[in-house]
């Protein structure tokens, strides 16, 4: 017997995991605008704006800058699916779960994959990549700019880009967590293809994957000997859909496109440097607050992401029960990790609209209460006081 289901009424949460994050209210308002047909001139003008705004945020002049209809993973897979032919050699810089994902994707599309690796919580030395390039002569080098699973930032992408050019390899970069929160200098770093996701520092709900690629990548995509296996993620077709040709490939998600348009507009209007500074300042305050509480941070301190802070769980604090208590009592979401780090660290995101002192103070207050409820030794108020001091000092 059927029964009525009540009106949708999800609870309000402070989303401080690794994505999604709370969007700016202006993004949500934009998503409620009237739906247009995909070839309505008013809508194709919005698509053109998204491309131009995307170029500014990616810091590129690439004509092929648009968005994949799908999550950040769809952007990564579109790049690999469209560039890799069976038998192509692919080198992956792997020090976390999303390095593993590049390995999986390249293997699925027939690539012969080799890896340079580092322990989770560390980063890849560019000299490792140089040596591996000389040894394996790959067509593609895949690098994760911000390894969300560990909270680590891969340094010296400019050097890696120069190395790839010297060896005539394409550089493919996952910038899912970094785009919109810190510099991603596509042209200066000689990134051949970069992809991101909307649900992190861009500050939009999950559902689209900004992507950009230059002439070298486009030449590989359009001169393949074999068809691109995926139709949906075929960049050769998608670039025609986003061009004046308007190839009828699929129906772009109208409301998500509105949201991405507004999110990118807000980034550009704030100013890239100002936005990067805001993310760095907020992340520094959170890290200082956690350390003042006696909490150990995870990973190489020289290479920590500003927008994802990985903290070690104090002894005696259970992972799932602790996160559930944060969610139920304070409405604060934080994330665990994967593989060897699951149950050992929590990852706290301060991204987009949430990259503010108010977020840090709320999270630290909730953490103090929850950790003390499990008898962890946490000094009262120390985290909040230190976070505020560090945040305000950065403004002076």
Going by the annotation, the residues of the binding site for substrate are 347
* 12 within domain boundaries: no
Three-state DSSP string of the chain: CCCCCCCCCCCCCEECCCCCCCCCHHHHHHHCCCCCCCCCHHHHHHHHHHHHHHHHHHCCCCCEEEEEECCHHHHHHHHHHHHCCCCCEEEEEECCHHHHHHHHHHHHCCCEEEEEECCECECCCHHHHHHHHHHHCCCEEEEECEECCCCEECCCHHHHHHHHHHCCCEEEEECCCCECCECCCCCCCCCCEEECCCCCCCCCCCCEEEEEECHHHHHHHHCCCCCCCCCCCCHHHHHHHCCCCCCCCCCCCHHHHHHHHHHHHHHHHHCHHHHHHHHHHHHHHHHHHHHHCCCCECCCHHHECCCEEEEECCCCCCHHHHHHHHHHHHCEECECCCHHHCCCEEEEECCHHHCCHHHHHHHHHHHHHHHHHCCCCCCCCHHHHHHHHHHHHHHC
In this structure, what token pair is assigned to residue 216? 């070298």
Report yes or no: 84 and 212 within 8 Å, Cβ to Cβ: no
Last residue of a domain, one of 216, 234, 269: 269
The answer on 276 and 265 residing in a single domain is: no
Q: Is the pLDDT of residue 1 over 80?
A: no
Residue 396 has pLDDT above 80, yes or no: no
314 and 243 assigned to the same domain: no
Please write the tens of the pLDDT for every residue from 276-323: 999 999 999 999 999 999 999 999 999 999 999 999 999 999 999 999
134 and 279 in a single domain? The answer is no
Mind listing the pLDDT tens digit for each residue in 6-38?
999 999 999 999 999 999 999 999 999 999 999
Q: Is residue 19 part of a domain?
A: no
Residue 5 belongs to some domain of the structure: no
70 and 194 both lie in a single domain: yes
Are 247 and 217 contained in the same domain? yes
CB neighbours of 391 closer than 8 A, spacing ≥ 6?
A: 281, 282, 284, 285, 357, 360
Q: Quote the percentage of the chain above a pLDDT of 70.
A: 100
| Containing structural domain, residue 197 | 25-269
How confident is the model at residue 85, as a pLDDT? 98
The tokens describing 301, both together, are 């301190």
Same domain, 82 and 147: yes
In sequence order, what are the residues at sequence separation of 6 or more whose Cβ sits closer than 8 angstroms to the Cβ of residue 109? 80, 81, 84, 85, 86, 229
- Shared domain for 236 and 368, answered yes or no, is no
- The pair phi, psi for residue 365, each rounded to 5°, is -65, -45
Are 142 and 194 in the same domain? yes
CATH code at position 91: 3.40.640.10
Looking at the domain assignment, is residue 361 inside a domain? yes
pLDDT in tens, 205-252: 999 999 999 999 999 999 999 999 999 999 999 999 999 999 999 999
Of the three residues 207, 236, 269, the one that is the final residue of a domain is: 269
Rounded CA-CA distance 318/316 in Å is: 6
Tens of pLDDT along 131-167? 999 999 999 999 999 999 999 999 999 999 999 999 9
If asked whether residues 327 and 221 sit together in one domain, one would say no
Last residue of a domain, one of 204, 234, 269: 269
Q: Is residue 299 included in any domain, yes or no?
A: yes
Q: Which residues are annotated as a binding site?
A: 347
What is the C-alpha radius of gyration for the chain, rounded to an integer number of angstroms? 21
CATH at residue 378: 3.90.1150.10
3 falls in which pLDDT band (50, 70, 90)? Answer: confident
Asked if residue 15 belongs to a domain, the reply is: no
* Global confidence as pTM: 0.97
Average pLDDT, the chain: 97
Per-residue pLDDT, 395 = 81
User: Is 17 part of any domain?
Assistant: no
CA 130 to chain centre: 25
235 inside domain: yes
29: Cβ contacts below 8 Å, ≥ 6 apart = 262
Please tell me whether residues 212 and 341 are part of one structural domain.
Answer: no
Q: Examine the domain organization and report whether 195 and 137 are in the same domain.
A: yes
Structural domain total, the chain:
2
For the stretch 359-384, pLDDT in tens is 999 999 999 999 999 999 999 999 99
What is the total residue count of the chain? 396
More confident residue, 186 or 396: 186
Q: Distance (Å, rounded) from C-alpha 158 to C-alpha 336? A: 31
Do 218 and 298 reside in the same domain of the chain?
no
């Amino acid at each position: 017997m059927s029964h009525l289901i009540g009106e949708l009424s999800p609870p309000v949460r402070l989303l401080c995991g690794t994505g999604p994050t709370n969007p700016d209210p202006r993004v949500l308002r934009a998503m409620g605008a009237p739906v247009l047909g995909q070839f309505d001139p008013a809508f194709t003008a919005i698509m053109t704006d998204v491309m131009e705004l995307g170029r500014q945020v990616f810091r590129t002049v690439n004509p092929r800058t648009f968005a994949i209809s799908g999550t950040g993973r769809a952007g990564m897979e579109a790049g690999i699916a469209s560039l890799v032919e069976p038998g192509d050699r692919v080198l992956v810089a792997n020090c976390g779960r999303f390095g593993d994902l590049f390995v999986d994707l390249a293997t699925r599309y027939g690539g012969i994959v080799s890896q340079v690796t580092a322990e989770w919580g560390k980063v890849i030395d560019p000299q490792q990549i140089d040596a591996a390039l000389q040894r394996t002569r790959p067509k593609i080098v895949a690098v994760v700019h911000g390894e969300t699973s560990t909270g680590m930032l891969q340094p010296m992408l400019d050097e890696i880009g120069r190395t790839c050019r010297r060896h005539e390899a394409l550089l493919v970069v996952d910038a899912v967590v970094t785009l919109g929160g810190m510099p991603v200098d596509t042209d200066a770093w000689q990134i051949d293809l970069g992809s991101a996701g909307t649900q992190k520092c861009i500050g939009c709900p999950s559902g689209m994957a900004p992507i950009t690629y230059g002439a070298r990548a486009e030449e590989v995509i359009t001169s393949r000997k074999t068809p691109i296996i995926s139709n949906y993620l075929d960049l050769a077709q998608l670039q025609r859909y986003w061009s004046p040709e308007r190839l009828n490939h699929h129906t772009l998600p109208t409301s998500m496109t509105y949201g991405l348009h507004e999110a990118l507009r807000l980034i550009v209007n704030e100013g890239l440097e100002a936005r990067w500074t805001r993310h760095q300042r907020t992340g520094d305050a959170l890290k200082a607050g956690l350390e003042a509480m006696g909490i150990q941070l995870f990973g190489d301190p020289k290479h920590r992401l500003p927008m994802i802070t990985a903290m070690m769980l104090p002894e005696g604090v259970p992972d799932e029960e602790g996160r559930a208590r944060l969610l139920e009592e304070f409405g604060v979401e934080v994330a665990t990790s994967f593989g060897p780090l699951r149950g050992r660290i929590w990852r706290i995101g301060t991204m987009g609209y949430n990259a503010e002192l108010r977020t840090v103070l709320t999270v630290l207050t909730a953490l103090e209460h929850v950790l003390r409820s499990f008898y962890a030794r946490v000094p009262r108020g120390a985290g909040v006081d230190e976070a505020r001091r560090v945040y305000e000092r950065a403004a002076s």
